[in-house]
Structure 1
Amino acid sequence: MPQLDEVLSVTKTVEEKLMAKMEEVQAQIQCASTAKDTVAKIAEEFRTFRQLVYQMLGLLRNQIHECSKQVDAVETRHRRKALVINGIVEAEGEDCGKLILDLLNHKLSLGLEQSSIKSCHRLGGINKDHCRPILVHFNNIQTKASVWRLKTKLKGSPVSMKEFLTRCRQAVFGRHGNTLECGPVGLRTASSQSRLLMGSGTR
């Protein structure tokens, strides 16, 4: 990706400048006399060097931040047709696609066909203590949206669903609670876009 190449380029530039300046300061220290003007000069050089380091590290942090935002956006676009469904009992030799279709057609009354689901599988390793969630990729965003709108019909059952959010966006929900209302802050998702609704009504 171009953003990653840019980060690597900035990192290389930082390393080269740091090494050159460190060698220069080291040489001055080795040749320094006890004269006050020499000590003052070296001190000034070091302050300049330190300022350069801070500036370059700040630039690097900004580049990494922008790169992370780009990667998160790409991942979010890839996940926008997917949902994670929890609470479906797991059995050996099961057909996840059939399980999901049965759930959506009987519990949510959707009448979907097998072709509506692009892929479907359990997440994580087998655990005897609990059933693993199922990741469902739908063929189009409209089908995913139809399923998501009817999720409240699952209330009171052991089955629940959530957006397939990226780690960054999931962390936001982890901090505030994946609920519709959370004190002064409301949380919503729409097409995998996380929104924080503040008490003032701002987003």
Structure 2
Amino acid sequence: MEDIKNSMSEMVKSFSLRMNQFETGLQKSAAPSSIAGLAADYADFKSFIMGLLRALQVQIEFMAKELDSLEMRGRRKILLLHGVAEQQKEDTTQEVVKTVVERLEQSGFVASDISRCHRMGRSAGTSDRPRPILFKLRDASVRSKIWSSKSSLKGSGITMSEFLTKARHDAFMAARQRFGISKCWTTDGTVYVLGADGARHRVRCVEDLDSVAPGVSQQVQVPKLAAGKETSRTRRAAASKMV
């Protein structure tokens, strides 16, 4: 962030200096030859400013990716459980334990393996669609075992997903829309897409999809994940419980 601040400061100084020079020359100009010279100076100045803006954009994009990676590392032990019916005065921790033990056949999994557990967002009241359960594991290896056995949930009406950052979630949903559900997946917070060349591509943002297949769009109808639409209130609530 300090580099960006310095770049902005230097750009403002350069912009002010060149504009002052341009205005001074404009006030003194009278002959057509002077006007032509000012036009050339203006073209050079425009090129200079555009170069600075492009450099600044590169720095901002780099910082955004670094912040995204940092945020994803903070979510590395978190998983989301979708489709578990809501009950009044429920114990979400026990609901997760029951699902993991009975459906994923992880008999050694106990409540103490979970450090945080709660439903995401506000209650929908009479809605038939249950809110996803966010649960954070104490040990990354336990998280990996649970995630690797998620295929056992197939056909149960319950699904599991990673707690992706907004940028990665948007990229994942766009990839499913463009390439199809079967060709997109996530592992350890990274979005992967299977390209037409049979190669596996890593995707961090929506813009990366064009490097996989420029302009390709299958318009696949993809069901929306419940956790995909995080409101600012939901993200703040989740973040406060992740610590």
Q: TM-score, normalised by structure 2?
A: 0.75
RMSD of aligned C-alpha atoms?
A: 2.0
Q: Deviations over 1:33-73 (max 9, x none)?
A: 1x111101111110111011111001100100110111111
Q: Hey, what does 2:238 align to over in structure 1?
A: none
**Residues 9 and 93 (structure 1 numbering): CA distance in 2 closer, same or farther, change over 3 Å?**
farther
Q: SS of 1:64's equivalent? A: helix
Q: Hey, what does 1:120 align to over in structure 2?
A: 117
Alignment match of 1:201 (pick from 198, 221, 227): 198
Q: SS of 1:144's equivalent? A: helix
What amino acid is the match of 2:183?
Answer: G
Task: Measure how far apart 1:155 and its partner are.
Answer: 1.5
Question: In 2, Cα distance between the equivalents of 1:66 and 1:165?
Answer: 19
Q: Hey, what does 1:23 align to over in structure 2?
A: 20
What amino acid is the match of 1:151?
Answer: K
Q: Deviations over 1:159-186 (max 9, x none)?
A: 11111111221122111218xx828x82
Alignment match of 1:182 (pick from 171, 180, 183): 180
Question: In 2, Cα distance between the equivalents of 1:124 and 1:27?
Answer: 59
**Residues 24 and 92 (structure 1 numbering): CA distance in 2 closer, same or farther, change over 3 Å?**
farther
What amino acid is the match of 2:56?
Answer: L
Q: Hey, what does 1:104 align to over in structure 2?
A: 100
Q: Hey, what does 2:153 align to over in structure 1?
A: 154
1:92 is the counterpart of 2:88: yes
Question: In 2, Cα distance between the equivalents of 1:95 and 1:123?
Answer: 14
Q: SS of 2:136's equivalent? A: strand
Question: In 2, Cα distance between the equivalents of 1:141 and 1:70?
Answer: 22
Q: SS of 2:183's equivalent? A: strand
Question: In 2, Cα distance between the equivalents of 1:50 and 1:86?
Answer: 53
What amino acid is the match of 1:200?
Answer: D
1:52 is the counterpart of 2:51: no
Question: In 2, Cα distance between the equivalents of 1:74 and 1:17?
Answer: 33
Q: SS of 1:177's equivalent? A: helix
Gaps of 5+ in 1: none
Check whether the contact 2:82–2:158 (CA below 8 A) recurs between aligned residues.
yes
Alignment match of 1:9 (pick from 6, 10, 29): 6
Q: Hey, what does 2:163 align to over in structure 1?
A: 164
Gaps of 5+ in 2: 201-243
